[in-house]
Structure 1
Amino acid sequence: MLRLEGVNQFYGESHILWDLDLEVPEGECTCLMGRNGVGKTTLLKAVMGLLPVRSGSIRFDGRELAGRPAELRARLGIGYVPQGREIFPQLTVEENLRVGLGIRGPRARRIPGRVFELFPVLGEMLNRRGGDLSGGQQQQLAIGRALVLEPRLLILDEPNEGIQPNIVHQIGAVIRRLNREEGLTVLLVEQKLPFARRTAHRFNLVEKGRSVASGAIGQLDDTLVGRYLAV
């Protein structure tokens, strides 16, 4: 569904992504992993059109995205949950969720009911400002906002960062349900190895901006963990 080939990206003169390849098969959950600062978030921002790439191909369902405007991704069915959530703190929960409706077109007027089915707390706090929610509730709101788009591909950048364990468990259950029961394709950046092994079908390891290993999640052995993930 999503394929990156030979992607290079720079910050000024600093070469961040080096001929990076990545494939996210349709209907599966792929976990992008690596130590802090190796380029994972940069890669996701490049996919979303938030950062330009110097060269290489980013294709979604065969359609080239590199060089195209960022808003095209949402229209094609890509939902994005950025690191740090980036909700609108002064807007209510309902207003945050409604932000995505306009992208779906003039006929989209209702927030999909499954958002509240997956995250009941959002339905209970519709009139509360986003900035007044706990960190875990804000993360649920950020995921719910992406799901309002009714995406075919959901991209999440460290959704469990700074979240209490019970919410981590709930988010994991939601991701597995969306992926395995509803067929939603997922690209996940995650540092927690047990969570990745419970949730993902495949992994891709990044080191210094390069893709260094990939395969089925069961192939993520102690040697690879020690070489590319251990601190």
Structure 2
Amino acid sequence: MLAVTGLNQYYGESHTLWDLDVEFPEGKCSVIMGRNGVGKTTLLNCVMGLLPLKSGVINFNGTDLVKLSAEQRAPQGIGYVPQGRQIFPMLTVEENLRIGLPVRKDKAKQIPGFIYELFPVLKEMLGRRGGDLSGGQQQQLAIGRALVIDPKLLILDEPTEGIQPNVVQEIGDVIRKLNQEMGLTVLLVEQKLPFARRVGDRFCIMDRGRVVAQDEIENLNENLIKTYLTV
């Protein structure tokens, strides 16, 4: 589904990603983990074309994304929910959701009904401005907006950050349903270990710009946690 090979990235003179090789298989929920500042969000931004690369290949279903602009990547079938959600605060919930419709290959004109089934609160608040929603509601809106494009891969950067516990539970339920019942491939960055264990099939641990471990989530042992994840 998504394979990254020989990826190097710099911020100015700082080498941030080092010869990074990692694969995220189709149909799985993969969790990228690691302490703050190890390159997790940088990796996602490289996948989405938001940061330039020094070298490397990012292969998505046979297409090298590096050759495509950022605007050309979503139409390949990638839904992206960035850290901090980045909804449009002055647009209504409905307007935020409709932004993804032109990307759909079937040229649908209506927001898919299943999004309201996943997030009933969005249907109740269609006319409300995005900036007036709570943090948890904005996260649900951001995920719904990403799903509107009918993605094959959903990428989430810290979906539980700053969210109240009951909404974290709901978001976890949605991720599991999308992955396990609807067959959507999911890739997320996540700091909360219990959440990662609950929703993930596989883990990828990063440290200092490198992938240091990747395996099935049940093999995430205490030694790895102590070495790379505890603060």
Task: Please give the TM-score of this superposition, normalised by the length of structure 1.
Answer: 0.98
Q: d(CA) in 2 for partners of 1:86 and 1:51?
A: 17
What secondary structure is seen at the aligned counterpart in 2 of 1:203? strand
What secondary structure is seen at the aligned counterpart in 2 of 1:156? strand
1:80 aligned partner: 80
1:129 aligned partner: 129
1:20 aligned partner: 20
2:176 aligned partner: 176
Is 151-160 or 96-105 further displaced after alignment? 96-105
The 1:102–1:44 alpha-carbon spacing in structure 2 relative to 1, beyond 3 Å, is: same
What secondary structure is seen at the aligned counterpart in 2 of 1:194? helix
What secondary structure is seen at the aligned counterpart in 2 of 1:66? helix
What secondary structure is seen at the aligned counterpart in 2 of 1:140? helix
8 A Cα contact 1:49 1:67, kept in partner: no
Map residues 68-217 of structure 1 onto 2, 5 A cutoff. Answer: 68-104=68-104, 107-217=107-217
How far does the alpha carbon of each residue in 1:6-39 deviate from its partner, in whole angstroms, 9 at most, with x for none?
A: 1000011110000111111000000000000100
Q: d(CA) in 1 for partners of 2:168 and 2:206?
A: 24
Q: Which amino acid aligns with 2:132?
A: D
How far does the alpha carbon of each residue in 1:32-84 deviate from its partner, in whole angstroms, 9 at most, with x for none?
A: 00000100000000000111111011000111011420122211100000000
Q: After TM superposition, where is structure 1 displaced by more than 2 Å over at least 4 residues in a row?
A: none
Q: CA deviation at 1:105?
A: 5.5
Query: Identity rate of aligned residues, in percent?
Result: 68
How many aligned residue pairs are there?
231
Q: CA deviation at 1:106?
A: 8.1
2:57 aligned partner: 57
Q: d(CA) in 2 for partners of 1:24 and 1:62?
A: 13
Q: d(CA) in 1 for partners of 2:21 and 2:113?
A: 36
Q: Does 1:5 align with 2:5?
A: yes
Q: d(CA) in 1 for partners of 2:127 and 2:226?
A: 47
Q: d(CA) in 1 for partners of 2:71 and 2:26?
A: 21
Q: Which amino acid aligns with 2:127?
A: N
Structure 2, unmatched stretches of 5+, are none
8 A Cα contact 1:81 1:146, kept in partner: yes
8 A Cα contact 1:74 1:103, kept in partner: yes
Q: Which amino acid aligns with 2:217?
A: I
Q: d(CA) in 2 for partners of 1:105 and 1:57?
A: 25
Q: d(CA) in 2 for partners of 1:103 and 1:150?
A: 9
What secondary structure is seen at the aligned counterpart in 1 of 2:154? strand
How far does the alpha carbon of each residue in 1:157-210 deviate from its partner, in whole angstroms, 9 at most, with x for none?
A: 000000000000000000000000111000010000011001100000000000
Q: CA deviation at 1:107?
A: 3.0
The 1:203–1:105 alpha-carbon spacing in structure 2 relative to 1, beyond 3 Å, is: closer
The 1:35–1:174 alpha-carbon spacing in structure 2 relative to 1, beyond 3 Å, is: same
What secondary structure is seen at the aligned counterpart in 2 of 1:175? helix
How far does the alpha carbon of each residue in 1:78-115 deviate from its partner, in whole angstroms, 9 at most, with x for none?
A: 00000000000000000000011111258321001111
What secondary structure is seen at the aligned counterpart in 2 of 1:218? helix
